[in-house]
Amino acid sequence: MNGPEKNVVRLALCLLVLGIVMRYLPWGLPSIDTFEVGDALIVSADSLALNAGGNLSSDSIVSKIDSIGYSSGQKTQEKHPRMRKTAPKVALPIHINTASVDELCALKGVGPKLAEKIIAAREAHGPFKSGADLQKVPGIGKKKLENMISGVNFD
């Protein structure tokens, strides 16, 4: 046997031992009991059987699904805490003098705090007429103004 063949045999033996260890030792691999696909919540039958005490019937499945917060006719977003809120879609350019915090956050380089500063400056000094007025807001410099100005409409 030459060198590369010995390396292949060693690798095969290592993988065999690793497979045996993973198969017969008690810790095993973690399994996924629930996961989401679109608006549906999928529950594995194994986890339902374990939770139901081993007897798996259609009534126990329905009651277990209802107990985890999903039943037909309900959206999972109301009950499931892991689902993220999606940001509202905003069409650019936005009207800077009437925009809300969410609309201002859609601009490049603008976060919630800067959006609140823009609204506070708008309420204190009146509507913005140009980019120079917008640049007076604390936190908006030349570069940030250049990034924002393409998505802003002054009315």
pLDDT in tens, 74-121: 444 455 555 555 656 777 788 899 999 988 888 888 899 999 999 999
What domain count does the chain have?
2
Above pLDDT 70, what percent of the chain?
59
Same domain, 99 and 141: yes
Same domain, 116 and 147: yes
Q: What is the mean predicted confidence (pLDDT) over 21-27?
A: 72
| Helix%, strand%, coil% for the chain, nearest 5 | 50, 10, 45
Is the separation of the CB atoms in 140 and 114 below 8 Å?
Answer: yes
Q: Look-up: residue for tokens 């691999």?
A: 29
Q: Which residue has the higher pLDDT, 101 or 53?
A: 101
pLDDT of 5 above 90: yes
Residue 155 has a pLDDT of: 74
Burial class of 73 by CB neighbour count within 10 A (0 to 12, 13 to 18, 19+)? exposed
* The predicted structure's pLDDT at residue 12: 95
Both 105 and 149 in a single domain? Answer: yes
- pLDDT beyond 50 at 132: yes
Listed range (13-17, 38-42, 123-127) with the worst mean pLDDT: 38-42
User: Do residues 100 and 142 both lie within one domain?
Assistant: yes
Q: What is the mean pLDDT of residues 122-127?
A: 92
Give the end of a domain, one of 79, 110, 143: 79
Domain that holds residue 110: 94-153
66 and 102 within one domain: no
